[in-house]
Chains A and B, each alone.
Chain A
Amino acid sequence: MIEIKNLSKSYGPFKAVDNLSFTIDNNCVFGFLGPNGAGKSTTMNMITGCLSPTEGEIYINGLSMTDNPEEAKKNIGYLPEIPPVYEDLTPLEYLSFVGEAKKIPKAQLKEKIAQVMEKTSITAMKNRLIKNLSKGYRQRVGIAQAILGDPPVIILDEPTVGLDPQQIIEIRNLITELGKSHIVILSSHILSEISAVCSRIMIISHGKLVALDSAQKLVGNENTEKTAVLEALGSSDKILNVLKTTPGVISAELSQETGNTCKFSFMPENDPRERLFYSLAEADCPVISLYIKKSSLEEIFLEIIAESGSYSKNTTAGGVK
């Protein structure tokens, strides 16, 4: 369990993290989002004990990071943005050092190292110097270091950066697997990754918490405006007429007309798709496609961040970093 109470970090007059409070009490993969400079890394560094907070308390499994850092740290595995690996050691030597430092009993150390190397698929590379490994393998060694000793809380800062597509799938599967028995906090700029593996999402901006909810609720938020898109054959006037007379269709607009095909968008209420299908069929306007567009996490993220003032609402998805 992670409990964060009124966490703040100031650098002179600049507040990097401002009165952040949240609790994660059950095993899940927790997505941690925010634009550059929002305070994500600062928060993660404070949770892992690498940085002291200006104010506030951090409890890991009931252990205070301020009062009892050594015990609290035993419950955390952390992969920072740049994997903290010793280039002149081999993965085996490196993991032996980490295991000993995490005070894993000597009798279990070999077995535990073999397990994490197996999980992260680095067994074949265990005797090569880390400086001779590719970026992807270094990242895996970093992940192995984080999960060694089976800590109940695992924090991963951009774990799939530099990996090839196959490795990305493997690591995502590993994260999903870990999420079943651990609290995994995952920070990533790849929003599709977050929506693919995270069951809860937290968004921070300017050091403040701006959204915290389950991924499902956040994406399918009732307050989020939904749009329906209709593509049908026939004259635009005829189709618009049908749309206007069908209950549940609000503010229909022609968005595109190519030859005999018209594309409309409207706001749906109580899912009018079935009614609309029959009405258009009666009016002899065959439906080519009809669907309700769900907001993606990308749109939700931009919407929330724009509200908090970090980006304008017009920022394109490609502009998010």
Chain B
Amino acid sequence: MLSVYKKELKLYFVTASGYVFLTFMLLAAGLYTSLVNFVYYSPAFEYVVKDMCFVLLITIPLLTMRVFSDEKKQRTDKLLCLLPIDVKSVVLGKFFALCTITLIPAAVMCLYPFILSMYGAVSFKTAFSCIFAFFMLECALCAVGMFTSSLTENQIISALLCFGILLISYMLPTISENISSASAFTFRAFTVCAVAAAAVILIASKKITAALAVLIAIEVPLSVIYFKYNALLTGKFASFADCFAVFKRIDPFTGGVFDITAVVYFITVAALFICFTVQSENSRRWK
């Protein structure tokens, strides 16, 4: 794992990707600090961090797009296969290298509250817990980007796929606020999700039985609840959609609350997508 980590880290700095990411992030952090703190005379650095989340929609796909797709394009994925390292170590090595890169802007951002404290009363606890949550969010998003990169050998497609997922996740709180809470709508929305999940399974595994099994496993209990205990479904789709709103988890931190559940959430998302990436890479060896 260490060899992959070192190699990846080196590659970020011999190619432009690492520098491009750092430039964008630090430029955005500087701009937001100037606007939020200096133009509006506010010592609250947490608002800068919250605004910075939007920048991640662009920078994370840019940073992660090459992680696996470039290996496939350069045919170096074969080297990783034939070296005595297992897929898990390769994926973890790459993930930790990504985390290290994302740590740099977060570390630089840690200096800003000190600068601001020269001009006003800064809540260091809130600012630093916010930066910590921001770093955790970056790591979770990197795992998502790494997974999309493992799906294709085209970097552009990988970046667009990652951007699409992040954008939906970013917009989910707004969407869930505006959707109907009626049980009939919830039933229909869950049915559409079940069909989509079955379609993905069918495309990925090419096994109609597996797809049907998933569809039945979701649809049967859903229908039972809908027809027998209708009230239970009220507003449940909005709560379900909220589970995928990764960016929203940073909100408690900006309000001055160190939300441990959000930290666990970020770790879970990262772990889940690391597992997906391992499976995606493993499955290629069976093809």
**Chain A interface (Cβ within 8 Å of chain B)?**
45, 48-52, 69-71, 73-74, 76, 78, 80, 82, 84-89, 93, 97-98, 100-103, 129, 145
Contacts and interface: CB of A to CB of B under 8 A. Distances in A.
Question: What are the 6 closest A-B residue pairs judged by CB atoms, nearest first?
Answer: A84-B79, A100-B3, A50-B81, A73-B84, A101-B83, A101-B3
Given A50-B81, A80-B78, A100-B2, 20 more contacts: A49-B81, A50-B82, A70-B84, A70-B85, A73-B83, A73-B84, A74-B84, A76-B82, A80-B75, A82-B75, A84-B74, A84-B77, A84-B78, A86-B7, A86-B74, A87-B74, A89-B7, A89-B10, A100-B6, A129-B14
Contacts of A76: 82
Contacts of A102: 83-84
Given A85-B76, A86-B74, A101-B3, A52 B285 contact: yes
Contact of A98 (B6, B14, B75, B79): B79
A84 B75 contact: yes
Name A's interface SS: loop
Most central of A51, A85, A101, A145 by chain B CB within 10 Å: A101
Given A70-B86, A73-B82, A84-B76, A97 B14 contact: no
Contact of A78 (B74, B82, B85): B82
Q: Contact residue range for chain B?
A: 20 to 34
A100 B84 CA distance: 10
Main secondary structure of the interface of B (DSSP, over half): helix
A70 B89 CA distance: 12
Interface string B2-26: 1110110011001100000000000
Nearest to B84: A73
Given A84-B79, A100-B3, A103-B84, A52 B286 contact: yes
A76 B10 CA distance: 26
11 contacts: A45-B78, A50-B81, A76-B82, A82-B75, A84-B75, A86-B74, A88-B15, A89-B7, A89-B11, A89-B14, A101-B85
